[in-house]
Chain A
């Protein structure tokens, strides 16, 4: 996968076609080579780029000592391919992430970020952002000291994540937080604690992804005490969610540290969710868990339960054979050796409108409160028939974003 980059006589050359300080006449390419001084040369290119420009990362390994950042709108950062242009942060001395984007209309494509000390690529308040054909990896595999998030857009509107690969994040490989209008597709997340996580967000489609060898495959969460909460309208469909069996390596204190190893999809404290056409196989705890927020909180605005979930047309392979949550073994023993593929905490009863037409057993834990101790659960098999809310609309990105990756 990795190639040794031979320093060439071009290695120290950055080509800058710097425009006049007035409005740019035309978009230009700013070529940045790997090699000595990469930190300052690449960072300077990211600062001096004008809207419409492309910062082109040459083939090679960029050895970086500090976080990089982009704060110019309308800039594309484009490498020679996710195995060819590599931003290596193994020697990083400061900053909370590898690459930080804080401007709108940015396209990140065709490069890799490796071994960042904190998050790998974060975009904050960066609307209309495109992540395409990227690789984010902690090259030594899962480890508690790895950065938290691989691809991390937050507080943004219109987020398109397409054809990325994320390996080894100690929280979530692909994490979209406090954002609106989101697509995560055609991507692979493996050996992360959470493969893909949509948190405190509105209107997301997560489809055609592979989430495997994580602790949990795909999570849709909502947490209290945050500027944006009340997560809703998320569709998880046509994904392969298989063999998520990596023991949870998240640092304690973080919400994902509570995700049982062997979780397929977990929906927590959200409303209006659809889970359909997915293929589940080899998830030892359960394929689909629908639960409320179980920790104490002080937030009058926060809604800890799940409401309006439609589960349909999923393929369920072997599951529930190694439940890694409190009371899991007892439940498995009580239900014929394995935990049923779908688990709902039962909070809200029929009023919660949790509906499944999948032809597999559903376990209703029979809780009356989200934070009720699991020992006091009254689990029983349930049929979750009935009508859920109307089907959710498809998420559509602005055409310019789709055009950027064609």
Chain B
């Protein structure tokens, strides 16, 4: 640990020189909660416009909806270490890796970061930490307990509105990123990763490819050419719901499982499944999914709501994802009633 710390300090000194920013491995690996995002050396200069050359950028075929926020995603893998891919396309990131995800609004050069969430793969497991950007974009500060910020959002099909944007606290990070009580990454599975062409050589260089699932072949939820309605709806539910709604997730007790593995059991996926602990979340409906009848489906009721205690997902959403609701409603309409 001492040696690592010394190396870390050395790296910090080096990174003081501009244009040669290097990621600080010991900050990722050592116990504790770094107070500022700049300590990691992921970015140089203002905001997130200049990532370290050691980072690999990617997008997701089907992303989690977060109040129409734009997201900038990077993965960092330490030198000499490599990602392994299993036959299901799940990626096993080596210890020392980090996933860096910045939430903000505006595209291209107009992108203004609000928060950056990091997932750090330490020897003890993954650690999830939220950082909130200062208004001048000079750095982002750790907000272990989360916070709320007023943010102006213009959805694709509506008027600009001001929302209370919620930065999750450390525990809420884990609530979503939890499998069997341990923190794990959610989004970057091989099929759901969309690596920009500029990063593909670097990515290929950092991954041991033993699986058969090609990269980025998963359905794009809002692109009909990318998959059937059923495939796109299930991909949307897998990304937006299944992180909790799986047998080892935070909603394991609900018996509603929306991960790909549950597809064999219709009731577990919500079809004619009665509510268990939904309370007023049921909206007076009998089934999570009433095939052919989205208006009578609890799933749609909860996706359409922004009321705590009703709204799903429970955290990270204060607006309705109208386009996502439309997709799931269309899918439920297409399911045959018994």
Interface residues of A (CB under 8 A from B): 21, 39-41, 43-44, 46-48, 65-67, 69-71, 92-96, 100, 102, 116-119, 124-125, 144-149, 152, 154-155, 170-171, 175, 177-178, 223, 225-227, 250-255, 295, 298-299
Contact = CB atoms under 8 A, between A and B. Distances in A.
A46 B160 CA distance: 36
12 contacts: A21-B31, A46-B171, A66-B148, A69-B169, A93-B164, A95-B314, A102-B178, A102-B250, A252-B286, A253-B275, A254-B278, A298-B272
A43 B253 contact: no
B166 A93 contact: yes
Interface string B229-269: 00000000000000000010010110100000000001110
Given A225-B273, A253-B274, A93 B308 contact: yes
Contacts of A250: 279
B309 A147 contact: yes
A214 to B, nearest CB: 15
Contact of A71 (B171, B267, B281, B287): B171
B147 interface: yes
B151 interface: no
B255 A44 contact: no
What band does the interface of chain B fall in when counting residues whose beta carbon is under 8 Å from A?
A: 35 or more
A227 B247 CA distance: 8
B286 A253 contact: yes
Contact of A47 (B145, B279, B315): B145
B309 A93 contact: no
B172 interface: yes
B277 to A, nearest CB: 6
Contacts of A253: 274-275, 278, 282-287, 298
B79 to A, nearest CB: 26
A223 B276 contact: yes
Contact of B309 (A39, A71, A118, A125): A118
Interface in B164-220: 164, 166, 169-172, 174-175, 178, 181
Given A47-B145, A96-B314, A154 B253 contact: yes
B165 to A, nearest CB: 11
A94 B279 contact: no
B318 A94 contact: yes
Contacts of B147: 40
Interface in B277-308: 277-287, 298, 307-308
A252 B308 contact: no
B144 interface: yes
A239 B264 CA distance: 44
A95 B274 contact: no
Contact of B255 (A41, A96, A225): A225
B155 interface: no
B167 to A, nearest CB: 10
A396 to B, nearest CB: 25
Contact of B166 (A94, A226, A255): A94
B227 interface: no
Given A70-B171, A177-B253, A227-B253, A47 B144 contact: yes
A252 B255 contact: no
B94 interface: no
A161 B31 CA distance: 36
A177 B311 CA distance: 22
Contacts of B146: 40, 43, 66
A16 to B, nearest CB: 12
A251 B282 contact: yes
Contacts of A95: 172, 308, 314-315
Given A47-B144, A148-B277, A227-B255, A69 B172 contact: yes
B247 A252 contact: no
B151 to A, nearest CB: 13
Nearest to B250: A124
Interface in B303-338: 307-311, 314-315, 318
A40 B145 contact: yes
B32 interface: yes
A123 B63 CA distance: 29
